[in-house]
Amino acid sequence: MSNLETFREETRAWLEENCPASMRTPMPDEEQPWGGRNPSYPNPDTKVWMERMAARGWTAPAWPTEYGGGGLTPEENKILQQELKRINARPCLNSFGIWMLGPALLEFATEEQKQKYLPPIVRGEIRWCQGYSEPGSGSDLAGLQTKAEDMGDHYLVNGQKVWTSYADKADWIFCLVRTDTSVKHEGISFLLIDMETEGVDPRPIKLISGSSPFCETFLTDVKVPKENLVGELNKGWTIAKRLLEHERTMISGMNMGAGEASLGGMEELAKEVFGELDGMIAHPTLRDTVTKHKMDEEAFGLTLRRTGELAKAGHGIGAEASIFKYYGSEMNKRRFEILLELLGTNALTTEGEGHDQDVMDISPQWLRSKANSIEGGTTEIQLNIIAKRVLDLPEGGQA
């Protein structure tokens, strides 16, 4: 038996033994496993599952073992993911530390910083948030004004961040700060700040969907130790760009298949609502609408696979993340528009006798999806990046 086959057998046996039964059921939103200093575990199995996976480094399976990761090869990691999917296992840990900060630290941080920050991320002990955008710097991110002044033994940080996801629940924030006001991109540094430091004040923002996952975070005379600087002074933009690629890839895959999953798939939903004609969706124009979308999804899935294979073989085209972000987020928005069209006023009802909760859950997700083409760089910014980096079109007045 090959090593990989052995790995699969052992993994399967271990998961059978260690994944609690309730962790193999659909996950209600309040049971999302975010970890952190003040975690919330309405279902105690969530904690058990996270800790068992963390002990093997499988919360971050591909990270090196010296930082607590699983040290798995890409092939082993693929098998682990397949085996997790096979038993419908819930994610063991949601973490911006794993998805976004960790890869940047692995690439840019000192050995000491890696030892300090990575293992608590793997164990789900520290929950991170991202401090990038500012009220005056959205698409023009590099125009950010939050200042970090060198005070000799520390930095003094003053400014305001916005759209900091879950800042009110996070333990630490990774921030872009201005360390040189005389230049733009070359005056930005990457700083890690403990949210418990005096002067850090996150306030939730209420969104059109009714929920408040984002905050505005005020930073007033916050003292940050100098060793919290990642990479070189004034070289933070390089790290920021890399990290944004991770974020864009994450967003392009976000919500895929969510929403309609509980309703049995868009095509089944269409049959249910409009009836069948010879086994096909009876409404001819909506049938075509659904078909176009299903084709988009299959084609986009193949594009992700192709790019993965090309990247592995060293044939990256560059700016892939921007293509995925652009296409994936626009497609996700279309998906919710179609679901609303299929469900009609039932999906627009937020409370009502005899209304199905699964259907009423669609409208907040529809509203949330509108942010997909804004967050992590708008659709327009992605198209700018492709024009500049891939198509090499000449630049004029605008960015």
Partner 1 sequence: MSNETNEQPKTDFILSEEQTMLRDTAKQFFSEQVPVANLRKLRDEDSADGIDREVWKQAAELGLAGILIPEAYGGTDFGVTGMGLVMEEAGRTLAATPLFSSSILSTLILLEAGSEDQKQSILPAIAAGEMVVAVALEESGHHNPAAISLSAEKKDGSLVLNGRKTFVLDGHIADKLIIVARSNGQKGDTNGLSLCLVDAHAEGLRVSRSKMVDSRNSSEVTCENLTVTADMIIGTIDEGDAPLESALDHARILLSAEILGGVNEVFERTLEYLKERKQFGVPIGTFQALRHRASAMFSEIEICKAVLTFALSQSDKKSNQIARLASLTKARLGEASTLVSSEGLQMHGGIGMTDDVDIGLFLKRARVQLQLLGDPSFHRERYARLNGY
Residues that bind partner 1 (CB under 8 A): 267-268, 270-271, 279-281, 287-288, 290-292, 294-295, 298-300, 302-303, 305-307, 309-310, 313, 315, 317, 323, 326-327, 380, 382-384, 386-387, 390-398
Amino acid in position 237: W
CB of residue 1 to partner 1, shortest distance in Å = 22
CB of residue 33 to partner 1, shortest distance in Å = 33
Q: Is 180 or 298 the residue whose CB approaches partner 1 more closely?
A: 298
Q: Sign of the CA dihedral 23, 24, 28, 29?
A: positive
Q: Is 351 or 392 the residue whose CB approaches partner 1 more closely?
A: 392
Angle, helices 266-274 vs 284-312, to 10°: value is 180
CA 278 to chain centre: 42
CB of residue 303 to partner 1, shortest distance in Å = 4
Cβ partners under 8 Å of residue 288, min gap 6: none
CB of residue 324 to partner 1, shortest distance in Å = 9
CB of residue 76 to partner 1, shortest distance in Å = 19
CB of residue 139 to partner 1, shortest distance in Å = 12
Q: Is 62 or 269 the residue whose CB approaches partner 1 more closely?
A: 269
Q: Is 125 or 267 the residue whose CB approaches partner 1 more closely?
A: 267
Instruction: Judge contact between 281 and 289, C-beta under 8 A.
Output: no
Spatial CA neighbour of 11 closest among 99, 79, 59, 78: 79
Q: Which tokens hold the place of 40?
A: 């919330």
Q: Is 183 or 302 the residue whose CB approaches partner 1 more closely?
A: 302
Q: What is the largest CA-CA distance in the chain?
A: 77
CB of residue 51 to partner 1, shortest distance in Å = 38
In angstroms, the CA 222 to CA 156 distance is 6
Secondary structure (DSSP) of 169-214: T-SEEEEEEES-SSSSGGGEEEEEEETTSTTEEEEE---TTS---E
Q: Is 74 or 210 the residue whose CB approaches partner 1 more closely?
A: 74
Q: Is 148 or 319 the residue whose CB approaches partner 1 more closely?
A: 319
Residue by residue, what is the 3-state secondary structure of 51-95?
HHHHHCCCCCCCCCHHHCCCCCCHHHHHHHHHHHHHCCCCCCCCC
